Amino acid sequence: METVRLRLVRNHMVSMRQHRQRDAVFRAVADPTRRQILGILRGGRQTVGVIARNFRMSRPAISKHIHQLHKAGLVETHSEGTTTVCSLNAKPLREINSWLQDYEAFWSASLDSLKRYLEEGR
Amino acid sequence: MTTATIAGDALVQEITIVAPAERVFAALTRPEELVRWWAVEGKVRTLAAECDVRPGGAWWMVVEGSCGSGGPHKVYGAYRKVEPPWLLEFTWNREGEDYPESVVRWDLEEKDGITRARVTHSGLVSEDMRQRNNGWSMIVQLLEAWVEGSRR
């Protein structure tokens, strides 16, 4: 519990930039098309062309979605000859998850402390 | 035991305390009580607190023992709703941080001298995000599924 509290305090020290990054991740996964793209990439790296074939929308539209996922740090891209290959990066998702868990732990520790104080006077 | 849920954009936690609601409310609003219970022994402690318990009134606590600089820093805000002993709502900020303000709300219910205290911490993501997403419980579930999946 103490470790959790300290981790939380550290997490409070997040900069505005990290906050924006978190917003970018939330924004990225809020869209069904982008979630589907992430789903495809979960099976392994894939070219933009192959990803686009799964959708009715145009390839430029899909590229735009991939660009947003890339900006949020969820998708890494690199060129292989004339094609662009995309792969999934789950790290930002893991970070958001641990941030939320830290907040949960903080309030849980505070409630336990309040209960102990009122019931046992310590 | 506490129970935790994520509802809309907020974290919600509950606990039952064998004490009347008035006692719980006092512990939440009296500086001399806050400094006694809002601490982790030997690690983090609340050095001082001040509470102007009325709507619009300011509150602050000086907390010591954090990481980084390790120096004391202020956690502060203003009361928004004060309805003793059932409801207390205030804004939540941390000094020296360029981080958006969030909101903490305590709801107390009492039955036979036992109080159920529920704390709701909302505004953890920006207003912009709250408007775009219909709450984030769905997103959080998705994230958890992703995180679990990506560990394999």
B70 sits in the region (left: phi over 0; alpha: psi -120 to 50; else beta) called left
**pLDDT for residue A121 is more than 60:** yes
b/e sequence B2-30, b meaning 16+ C-beta within 10 Å: bebebeebbbbbbbebebbbebbbbbbbe
Out of A23, A94, A104, whose CB is closest to B128? A23
| ipTM score over 0.85, yes or no | no
Tokens of B110: 């009492």
Domain ranges of chain B: 3-151
Alpha-carbon distance A48 to B62, whole Å? 52
Mean pLDDT, rounded, of chain B: 78
Q: Do you know the residue count of chain B?
A: 152
Q: What percent of chain A has pLDDT over 70?
A: 80
pLDDT of residue B78: 97
pLDDT of residue B29: 95
* Confidence grade of residue B142 (pLDDT, cut at 50, 70, 90): low
pLDDT of residue A56: 95
Q: Find out whether B65 and B48 touch, Cβ atoms under 8 Å.
A: no
**pLDDT for residue A1 is more than 50:** no
* Confidence grade of residue B5 (pLDDT, cut at 50, 70, 90): low
Give residue-wise pLDDT tens across range B64-117.
765 334 578 888 999 999 999 999 999 988 776 555 678 899 999 999 999 999
Q: Find out whether B49 and B34 touch, Cβ atoms under 8 Å.
A: yes
* Confidence grade of residue A31 (pLDDT, cut at 50, 70, 90): confident
Alpha-carbon distance B57 to A106, whole Å? 25
Tokens of B65: 């023992």
**pLDDT for residue A66 is more than 60:** yes
A31-89: CATH topology is: Arc Repressor Mutant, subunit A (1.10.10)
Of A12 and B58, the structure prediction assigns the larger pLDDT to B58
* Confidence grade of residue A9 (pLDDT, cut at 50, 70, 90): very low
pLDDT of residue B128: 53
> pTM value?
0.68
φ/ψ of residue B46, rounded to 5: -95, 120
Of A43 and B87, the structure prediction assigns the larger pLDDT to B87
Q: Find out whether B106 and B119 touch, Cβ atoms under 8 Å.
A: yes
- Give the chain A residue nearest B73 (alpha carbons): A9
Residue from A20, A108, A116 whose CB has the most chain B CBs within 10 Å, to mutate:
A108
Of B69 and B40, the structure prediction assigns the larger pLDDT to B40
Residue from B137, B143, B144, B150 whose CB has the most chain A CBs within 10 Å, to mutate:
B143
CATH code assigned to B3-151:
3.30.530.20
CA angle, B60 then B65 then B71, to 5°: 75
Chain A: closest CA distance from residue B95 (Å): 10
Residue B13 forms contact with A (CB below 8 Å): yes
Q: Do you know the residue count of chain A?
A: 122
Q: Find out whether A9 and B123 touch, Cβ atoms under 8 Å.
A: no
Alpha-carbon distance A29 to A27, whole Å? 6
Contacts of B139 in chain A (CB under 8 A): 26, 29-30
pLDDT of residue B70: 55
Alpha-carbon distance A27 to A41, whole Å? 18
Give residue-wise pLDDT tens across range B112-124.
999 999 998 887 6
